[in-house]
Structure 1
Amino acid sequence: MKMIVADDEYYARKALIKKISSINPEIEITGDFENGKQVLAYLREHPQGADVLITDVRMPEMDGLELTETLSKTDLKLDIIIVSGYTEFEYAKKAIAFGVRDYLIKPVNKEELQAALEKIEIRHRKYEEELNRVVQHQMIRRTVQYLSIEEILRNGEWTEEFLNPVFKKYQGREYRMTIIQADRQIIPTEQDKLERDLTEFAQEHCGSWFYFNRYQEYVLILFSGQGESSSFMENLNTFLLKKNAGWNLKLSAGTSGSYSQVPQLKKAYQEAVYAINQRLIDGWVNVYEFAGEFKPQNLLSKEKEVILREAIENQKAADANALILGLIKQCRDSYTLYITIIGIFNLLYRIYCKSDSIEETENEHGYLLFSFRSDLYNFKYLKEVNQYVENIVNLMCMEQGEKKYHYIIKEILDYIEKNYQCNISLGELAEHKYFMNSSYLSRLFKNEVGQTFSKYLMQFRIKKAASLLESNILKINDIAALAGYNDVSHFIQYFKKMYGCTPEEYRALQTNAN
C-alpha cells in the first residue's frame, strides 16, 4: 500500500510517518507535503503514486477539506483519512460528504490509526479479489467463445475449468439447455445489454450462460426445481418478447429435455439445436421445445426422384428447382426438412458421379458437408435454404455458364469460419458440396479472395490462435489443436512465419501489454 502524508507542521508530519511505519512496515510512504497544492501537483505527475492520503485539515494555501473536495472530482482512486485538532462536527460532516474514509482527532491515537488503516487494507483486499474475479471471468468468456460445448466436453481440463463450477453449485438438480440466436448480427451496444439481461435471467433460473462465436449462439444451462417446467417456458418466452419489442431484431430459442449429468450436455445441446431449427418452418420470436418423439420422412419419393433426375440430366434447372421448392414447402418440421434435403443431395451426388465417371462408394455423401448441426443450423430463414439448394442445382445444370460464382466463395468463407478446426479440403468441398471441378473452384477462389485456399485457411487459423493466446487459460498444444493443427511444431512454424515470434513469446507480449 502506497501512502502520502500532508501536514504543515514538520515534526507532527514526521511523527505521523513514524507511527504509520511502526504499525505496518510494508506501507510505502511515497511523499510528505506541507499543503494541499503540493499534494495535487504530485498526484498530477504521479496518478498511481498513492493509494491512501492522510491529511491535516488546517494547512496554508489549500487546507485538507479543500484538497479532499478537489480530489473527489477527479478519477483518482484514493482513500483519504482526515486528521484535525478540532472536534467540530462540521469538519467531520464535510469530510464524509467528500468520501473521506476516516476522521481522526489530534494527537492521533496509534490504536485508532491502526484500526483506520486495517479497514482500508481490508477494503483494498476485497476490491483486488473482486477485480481479479471479474478479470478472470472476462478472460474465461473471451476464451470460451472460440470453443463449443462438444470441444469442452472432450477435454477434461476444460470441463473442469468451465462447466464443473456451474454443476457443483447446483449439484443434484436437473438442468435444461437453451440456445438463443438472433436473425442478424447483433451490434456491440445491443450485445452488452442482451448479455446483462441474460446474466440476470440466468441468475433467476439458477444457472449460467456461454457465448460461442462460431454460430453466434448463446447457450444457457439452467437448473430448475420440480414443477417449474411450464413457468420456465413462459418466463423464457416473456424474456424473448421483451427483447424483440425493444430492438429491430428477432430472437428465437430452442430448449432441450431435462438432464442431470455433465456428460449429458452433448445430447442436451443436440436437442436444443433440433428444437431451434424449427424456426425455419414456424418463424422467429418463438421458444421451441425439443419433441421427444418424432418421425421424420423423406418427401423425395421414388417417383419424384426419377422426375428430378431427368430434369437435371436434361439441364432443365427451372423444372428441377420447382419440384424441390414444392417438396420443401411440404415440410412441417425441421427433421423432415433435413431428411428431404439429404435425399436430394444424395441424388445429386449419384448424378455427379455418373456424369464425371467418378466411382461411387457404398456410403452416400449427401450428409458429408451438409449437416443438421452446421449447414441447416446456419440458415436463418427457409428462403435461404431454397436458394442454397437452387444454386447447387443450377451448377449441375450448367445454366450459369462461365459466370463467377460469388455466392459459392462467400459460402466457403463462411464454412471456414465455422469449421476451421476440422480437416478442410477444397477438393472435398468441390466434389461433395458444390459438385464441380476442383481445379476450377481453386482458380475461382484465388480470383475472388486474392490468395490460394490453403494460404487463406492457414492465416485464418493462425489469427484465431492469436486470439486464444491473449489469455493464459489454454495450453499451447490445446490452442494448436483448436486452430486445426495436430502437429504442434507445424503450428509454431506457421505462427512464427506470420507474427515473427513463437506462440509463447506472443502470449508473453500480450500479457505484459495488459
Structure 2
Amino acid sequence: MSSSASGSITGRNAGWPWKAKPAGTRASPCGCRCGLRMEGRNDMRTLLIVDDERNIRLGLKAMIDRECADRYETLTAESGREALDIIRARKTDVLITDIRMPEMDGFALIREAAEAGHRPAVIILSGYDDFAYAREAIQYGVKEYLLKPIVREELYRALDRVEEALRRAEQTEELRQQAERYRTDMAASVFAYLLVGDSADEAVVMQRAEAAGLTELLRPDYAVGVLKTAGDPLGRAKAEDWLKQRAAEGMRAIWTVDRDGLLVFASPDPGLAEMLAGELARICEPPVYVGLSEREDSAARLPERYRQAKRALKRSLVMPPVRSAVLTASPACGAFAADVPMDEVRKLANMLGTGRDQEMAALAGRLFELPESPDGGVAYIEALSRALNEQVFDQVFRTFGEESVEVLKLHRRVGSLDHYASLADYRRDVEELLLLLSDYIRSLRSAHAEHKEMRAAVAYIRENYWKDLNMAMAANHVSLNYAYFGQLFKEYTGESFVSYLRRVRIEKAKELLVHTDAKVYEIAERVGFDNVKHFNRVFKEHEGITALEYRQRHAVFAPDAAGEGSAGRM
C-alpha cells in the first residue's frame, strides 16, 4: 500500500489497540471535519473496523479517533470471525470492512451478521475498482464503497452520508414506534370500553372493534382471560411486562386493567393462558389464577366472554389451595341461582353498635356455610357478597357517614370478591369490618349522647344567663365532671364556657338596647353584670362600639310601643 499520498493511511499512525481508547483520551469538543452533527445525543455510536492488515486497521482507527473522537467508540478486528463475535456481543452501528480477508470475507461477515439479526451501516473497503464487487455490495445493502488507499476526505464524507442515513432511519423508526404505540393504546382503550359495554347492539360494537383493529387482532377466534395474583402485589405488573415481551416477539394479544384492578386479556392463541399462568407461578408469590372464557369468533360478544371469564375465576374462592390454575368456563358457568337468607343479613345489620359482638360473629359464621351446589357454592358467595355490601356495609356509610381511611380501604376491598385468593380471606375481612363498624356506630351513639348533654347545658345557660352563673353550676346541672365538661363544651360550641356566657349576655343586652328604654346600667344588671363599667368594656370588645352608640344606631323603641319614656332616653 502506497504511503506517498497525503490523504492515505500510513504506518506512523498505527499504535492504538483494537479496543476503544480510555475515556480520558477523547478529544473534547471534537473539531470534527467529517461533518457529523449529533447535537442532543448523549450516547456514542459504535464503529467497528475489520481488516486483516494491521497498518490499515489501526491507521483508519487513528484517523477516525483524531477527527470524531466524541462521535464514535471505535473498535477493530483482524478477521471476519473476530468481527462477528464482537457484533454478536454488542450493538454495532457502523461497520467498515475489507472485502478480501482469509477465513471469512467481508460479504460473508455482512451476511452472517444479518442472519443473526444485526444490520449495521456498512462501508466496504476494496483494493479493486471492480463492478462485480460494487454490484454485490448493493445486494447486501452496503451504504458506501471506498477504494484503497483511503483518502481522508472521502472517508469523512462517507461517514457523513452514513450518519445522515442512520438519522433518517432512526427518525423513521421513532415515527413508526409512535404510530404503533398510538395504535396499541387506542386498541387497549376500545378493548376496555367494549368489556363493560352493552353488547345488545352488535353492529355498533363491531364498528368500534374494527376501527381499533381488534377484529383483525382477534381473528379467527379468541378467548378472554382474567388474571388474579392475590398473593403478589406486583403480579399484575409482571404479567404486563411478560405480555409486552411476547407481543414484541409476534404474539397477538390485547390487554387492559379492569375497575377491580384485574388484568384482562384476549388472544387467539389457545395456549396463552397456560403460558402466562406458568410463567407467573415461577416468578410470583402464589396463588396465580386465570379465569378463561369459551372461545368466540365475534368481537361483539367481548362483554359476554369477559363476564364468563370473571365467573370462572371466582371458582378459585372455593377450590383447594394451589400454586397456579387456569379455570376454564363452561356453557353452564353462571347459570346457577342461590338464595341468601336475607332476614339473617338484616339481623346482622341490626346488631351493629349493640355490643353483641360474639353473637354477631356467630351469625356471620352461619352465613358463610356454603350450601350444596353444582358450582361449589360460587353463586351463593356472589349473592352473599352483594347482600352484605348493599344491606350492611353501604347502608352503614350512608347512614352514619365515612369512618377512618383504614376502614374505608377495608370497605372497598370487601366490596369485590375479585380482591381475594380464597373464601377464608374474604370471610376474615368481612368479620373484621363488621367489628370495626360496630365500634364506629357505638362511638357515634356515645358522641350523640354527649351532645345531648351539651344541648342541655346550652339551654341551661340561655335560661339562667342573668344569674351569677359559672361553669361548675352548668357541669353539675348535666351531672358531668368539671374538667370533662369544659373539654366537651369547647368541642361542642367552639369556645370556652366563659366566652360563650359573655356572648349570650351581650346578645341579650343588644336586644334590650334596641327594644326598651332601660338605662345602660339597668340593662347590665338584667343580663348578669354586677358592674356597668365591666359591662361597657365587654360590650365594646364584642361590638367595637359602646352600648350607647349601639342604641343610637339601632334603637326602634318609641313611646307608643313601650308605653313610657322616649327612644333616646338613658
Q: TM-score with structure 1 length normalisation?
A: 0.50
Structure 2 CA distance for partners of 1:94 and 1:168, relative to 1, 3 Å: closer
Residues 120-159 of structure 1: matches in 2 within 5 Å? 120-121=142-143, 149-150=192-193
Distance 2:205 2:342 in 1: 48
**1:255-279 CA distance string (max 9 Å, x none):** 1233222232222222212221221
Q: Which amino acid aligns with 1:256?
A: S
Structure 2 CA distance for partners of 1:200 and 1:69, relative to 1, 3 Å: closer
Q: Does 1:382 align with 2:423?
A: yes
**1:429-451 CA distance string (max 9 Å, x none):** xxxxxxxxxxxxxxxxxxxxxxx
Contact 1:144 1:212 survives alignment (8 Å): no
Distance 1:325 1:132 in 2: 60
Paired residue for 1:186?
234
Whose relative contact order is higher, 1 or 2, with alpha carbons under 8 Å and at least 6 apart?
Answer: 1
Distance 1:107 1:381 in 2: 76
Distance 2:194 2:135 in 1: 52
Q: Does 1:79 align with 2:87?
A: no
Residues 259-274 of structure 1: matches in 2 within 5 Å? 259-274=296-311
Structure 2 CA distance for partners of 1:11 and 1:391, relative to 1, 3 Å: same
**1:313-346 CA distance string (max 9 Å, x none):** 7441322232223222316333321211222333
Paired residue for 1:328?
368
Paired residue for 1:466?
none
Distance 2:418 2:429 in 1: 13
Structure 2 CA distance for partners of 1:334 and 1:189, relative to 1, 3 Å: closer
Structure 2 CA distance for partners of 1:145 and 1:319, relative to 1, 3 Å: farther
Paired residue for 2:318?
281
Q: CA deviation at 1:253?
A: 0.7
Q: CA deviation at 1:62?
A: 2.3
Distance 2:399 2:261 in 1: 39
Q: Secondary structure at the match of 1:330?
A: coil
Q: CA deviation at 1:119?
A: 0.5
Distance 1:56 1:264 in 2: 65
Structure 2 CA distance for partners of 1:96 and 1:397, relative to 1, 3 Å: closer
Q: Which amino acid aligns with 1:212?
A: V
Contact 1:177 1:222 survives alignment (8 Å): yes
Q: CA deviation at 1:252?
A: 0.6
Structure 2 CA distance for partners of 1:56 and 1:266, relative to 1, 3 Å: same
Structure 2: gaps spanning 5 or more residues: 31-42, 62-73, 114-119, 144-161, 198-203, 402-410, 445-570
Paired residue for 2:530?
none
Structure 2 CA distance for partners of 1:138 and 1:9, relative to 1, 3 Å: farther
Paired residue for 2:102?
89
Contact 2:236 2:262 survives alignment (8 Å): no
Contact 1:202 1:222 survives alignment (8 Å): no
Contact 2:290 2:327 survives alignment (8 Å): yes
Distance 1:157 1:43 in 2: 61
Structure 2 CA distance for partners of 1:114 and 1:61, relative to 1, 3 Å: closer
Structure 2 CA distance for partners of 1:220 and 1:44, relative to 1, 3 Å: farther
**1:125-183 CA distance string (max 9 Å, x none):** 988877766676567778988997127887x9999799843531554x22211122212
**1:55-111 CA distance string (max 9 Å, x none):** 894637925699522984895623323347xx5635838994997967643133467
Structure 1: gaps spanning 5 or more residues: 1-5, 15-32, 225-231, 358-368, 404-514
Q: Which amino acid aligns with 2:385?
A: I
Contact 1:178 1:253 survives alignment (8 Å): yes
Distance 2:103 2:264 in 1: 55
Structure 2 CA distance for partners of 1:150 and 1:94, relative to 1, 3 Å: closer
Q: CA deviation at 1:254?
A: 0.5
Out of 388, 391, 414, the residue aligned to residue 347 of structure 1 is 391
Distance 2:6 2:205 in 1: 59
Q: Secondary structure at the match of 1:296?
A: coil
Q: Which amino acid aligns with 2:76?
A: T
Paired residue for 1:338?
382
Q: Does 1:254 align with 2:302?
A: no
Distance 1:316 1:135 in 2: 62
Q: Does 1:212 align with 2:253?
A: no
Residues 234-245 of structure 1: matches in 2 within 5 Å? 236-237=273-274, 240-241=277-278, 243-244=280-281
Residues 357-436 of structure 1: matches in 2 within 5 Å? 375-398=416-439
Q: CA deviation at 1:251?
A: 1.1
Paired residue for 1:59?
55
Q: Does 1:177 align with 2:220?
A: no
Distance 1:401 1:295 in 2: 39
Q: Percent identity?
A: 9
Contact 1:104 1:113 survives alignment (8 Å): no
Q: Which amino acid aligns with 1:300?
A: P
Give aligned pairs, total. 353
Q: TM-score with structure 2 length normalisation?
A: 0.46
Contact 2:226 2:309 survives alignment (8 Å): yes
Q: Does 1:167 align with 2:167?
A: no
Paired residue for 1:479?
none
Q: Secondary structure at the match of 2:253?
A: strand
Distance 1:243 1:57 in 2: 53
Q: Which amino acid aligns with 2:58?
A: M
Out of 112, 135, 138, the residue aligned to residue 133 of structure 2 is 112
Distance 1:181 1:350 in 2: 25
Does 121-130 or 327-336 show the bigger shift? 121-130
Contact 2:58 2:76 survives alignment (8 Å): no
Q: Secondary structure at the match of 1:59?
A: helix
Alpha carbon RMSD of aligned pairs, Å? 5.7
Q: Does 1:222 align with 2:267?
A: yes
Distance 1:350 1:210 in 2: 31
Residues 470-485 of structure 1: matches in 2 within 5 Å? none
Distance 2:391 2:363 in 1: 14
Distance 1:200 1:151 in 2: 24
Structure 2 CA distance for partners of 1:43 and 1:349, relative to 1, 3 Å: closer
Contact 1:7 1:56 survives alignment (8 Å): no
Q: Secondary structure at the match of 1:240?
A: helix
Contact 1:280 1:380 survives alignment (8 Å): yes
Contact 2:291 2:329 survives alignment (8 Å): yes
Distance 2:172 2:213 in 1: 18
